[in-house]
Amino acid sequence: MPGAFNRQIADPGRASGAAFSEALATANNQAVVSPSESDATAPAVRTFTTEKGTVWTITDIAASLTDSDKRILGWPSTDPATGMLAAMVAQDRNDGFLNGPMTNDYIVGNPAKGIPGLVDRQPSAVMTQERVAALLDRLSQGVSRFA
């Protein structure tokens, strides 16, 4: 489908950007241009266009998260739920939805301000009450430490 748009998450701990590009090319059975830069200097977001016009945008989680994000999320982690949250935050940073530090409103949402929280955008299996409490606890520790 020409002009189709797909977002993918790159986790450098699992595969390099070039290997990920090759996997996309194999999955699509189409040629994908590999980035020329090394993984160490690769940008947080890379976009590739296939011969048929499908645009793939790959977000590098580690390069997209701030140090504060990583601390609040507990990143890096082998926990799949933490990975899903980190991916959402990384995409939000690169899309411009999250500017500045994470806030309580960003995590739990604020309908009065029209802000959907991570709680609203993640499955309940990911955003358990325990996980939300842990995120808010780490957020409050960071705020009081750096305020």
- Asked if omega into 123 is within 30° of 0 (cis), the reply is no
Per-residue pLDDT of the chain (147 residues; tens, 9 = 90+): 333 444 445 444 444 444 444 444 444 443 333 443 334 445 688 888 888 888 888 888 999 999 999 999 999 989 999 999 999 999 999 888 999 999 999 999 999 999 899 988 988 888 889 999 999 999 998 754 443
Angle in degrees, CA 32, 59, 68, rounded to 5? 165
- The DSSP code sequence of 54-101 is -EEEEEEHHHHS-HHHHHHHT-S-S-HHHHHHHHHHHHHHHHTS--SS
Most distant pair of Cα atoms in the chain: their distance:
52
Instruction: Please report the pLDDT score of residue 133 as a whole number.
Output: 93
User: What pLDDT score was predicted for residue 6?
Assistant: 47
The whole-angstrom separation of Cα 139 and Cα 71 is 9
Residue 7: its H or E element: strand 5-10
